[in-house]
Amino acid sequence: MQIEPMMKAGRSMGGQGAVVHGMHVGDKNPRQIGNGTKALCGTSCGPRSAGWAHMPNLQVTCERCTKAAQRAAAQKGE
């Protein structure tokens, strides 16, 4: 399972308090993730938003995404 750090693009991007979500991109190119694709926590970008930005150098900061990733990793280890 490939979890990539993704941020909602736009004005808040890179600013303080901007949340970095985790997303399972699989075989897809993280740059080609569409607005409607959901992060692990279930959030997605609206159709009129700037979409997702791949932030490979950042850590996932969304708590719900982090927990979902940990759960998935734990299940895989069974």
Q: Where along the sequence are the contacts to Zn ion (CB under 5 A)?
A: 21, 39, 41, 62, 65
* Residue number, 16 or 78, with CB nearest to Zn ion: 16
Nearer to Zn ion, 31 or 42 (CB): 42
Q: How far is the CB of 22 from Zn ion (least distance, A)?
A: 6
The smaller minimum CB distance to Zn ion, of residues 24 and 78, is found at 24
Can you name the residues that pair with 20 across neighbouring β-strands?
7
